[in-house]
Amino acid sequence: MKFAFFDAKPYDKPSFEKYGGENGIKFKYFETKLNEDTVELAAGYDGVCVFVNDTVNAAVIDRLYEMGVKVVALRCAGFNNVDMKHAFGRVHVLRVPAYSPYAVAEHTMAMLLTSIRRIHKAYIRTRDFNFSLAGMTGFDLHGKTVGVIGTGRIGRVFIDICRGFGMKVLAYDKFPIDGLADGDKIRYVGLDELFRNSDIISLHCPLTEETYHVIDAEAIEKCKRGVVILNTSRGALVDAEALLSGIKSRKVGAACLDVYEEESDIFFEDFSGHIIEDDTLARLISMPNVIVTSHQAFLTEEALSNIAETTVGNIKTFFERGQCENELCFRCGSAEDCKSGKCF
């Protein structure tokens, strides 16, 4: 089996070579992202292997279909970059539903602690032998309230971590999890109450039409003054312009962003020495209370290994059995994992 691997990075190759080699799947690595301009590179391959910022829209799907490319193997969990409706009946879309919720949840807490304890400032200061503590006052997490939007795999690990710090949790999910609520310690509430009563808000839901800009100007208006906003999920959950206004007006106390609305042409690439055209991102990065990482939350050795193992397993299972439990299917539900494997 031959797969065209788009948006390849040096850290992808070792684990994909290992698991691909063991299972007879050959990957051809392309540094470019998949989109309408690059889709021709997939000619002659059995499938494409793509990541979060590859574009699998209707035009790309049509061309893959015409070229006889049957499988889109996502090496990630989110699939907002795939036109699932259009994919139905044309290409099979496989994904890695979970690879390490700990990687993302731990990164979220790392960003939060860095921000509120000013570690990013201290690191730079002491390297310059500046041992002053002026402007370094933080606050305790113990006793604070964190609002968690999305209580799936990652959200629940993040809740566990927050509980370890002695924080109270207000949770919101379209499909609340039975048994998660725990008296005053963890309470499911409506979004309004979550916005009004949280000191920190962390996003762990998928990007859908419903969750697009879930943090917008109106939501920020409802928040406590000084709220800390954490987004390690998908950029467009937050209206970046509204966030910037909230920071300028001092309503938002800090923001930690591992994802950004317009990240697809910027993140994962080295732009040092270049002029960044995106004024909103540049202004956000210039703020002392904003920390941006470049969609890095997933990047642990354990996650990379699990991603490669599951992606290769998905491809192998699909070609052997004609179905795979990690196939996404629009017909089974609103783009949920295919339960029957017989929809296509």
Which are the catalytic amino acids?
234, 263, 295
| Residue (of 244, 238, 228) closest to 205 by Cα position | 238
Q: Which of 39, 87, 146, 205 binds ligand NAI (CB under 6 A)?
A: 205
**Distance, C-alpha 219 to centroid of its chain:** 21
Q: How far is the CB of 135 from ligand NAI (least distance, A)?
A: 29
| Cβ-based neighbour number of residue 309 at 10 Å | 18
Q: Are 204 and 152 in contact (CB under 8 A)?
A: yes
Task: Specify the residue, 86 or 234, whose C-beta has the smaller distance to ligand NAI.
Answer: 234
Q: Is 334 in the site for ligand NAI (CB under 6 A)?
A: no
Residues 213-242 that bind ligand NAI (CB under 6 A): 232-234
**Sheet containing 71-74: which strands, arranged edge to edge?**
26-29, 2-5, 47-50, 71-74, 92-94, 327-329, 336-337
Q: Is 175 in the site for ligand NAI (CB under 6 A)?
A: yes
Count of residues of this chain found to bind ligand NAI when the rule CB under 6 A is applied: 30
- Binding segment for ligand NAI (CB under 6 A), chosen from 139-147, 192-200, 203-211, 308-316, is 203-211
Amino acid at 58: A
Q: Which of 27, 88, 260, 298 binds ligand NAI (CB under 6 A)?
A: 298
Task: Specify the residue, 53 or 118, whose C-beta has the smaller distance to ligand NAI.
Answer: 53
Parallel, antiparallel, or unpaired for β 252-257 and 26-29?
A: unpaired
Q: Is 81 in the site for ligand NAI (CB under 6 A)?
A: no
Q: How far is the CB of 2 from ligand NAI (least distance, A)?
A: 27
Q: Give the C-alpha separation, 23 to 15, whole Å.
A: 12
Q: Name 104's Cβ contacts closer than 8 Å, sequence gap at least 6.
A: 154, 157, 204, 232, 297, 298
| Residue (of 155, 222, 224) closest to 186 by Cα position | 155
- Binding segment for ligand NAI (CB under 6 A), chosen from 38-46, 66-74, 144-152, 241-249, is 144-152
Q: Is 147 in the site for ligand NAI (CB under 6 A)?
A: no
Task: Specify the residue, 52 or 64, whose C-beta has the smaller distance to ligand NAI.
Answer: 52
Residue numbers at the binding site for ligand NAI (CB under 6 A) = 77-78, 98, 101, 104, 149-155, 172-175, 204-206, 208, 210-211, 232-234, 258-259, 295, 297-298
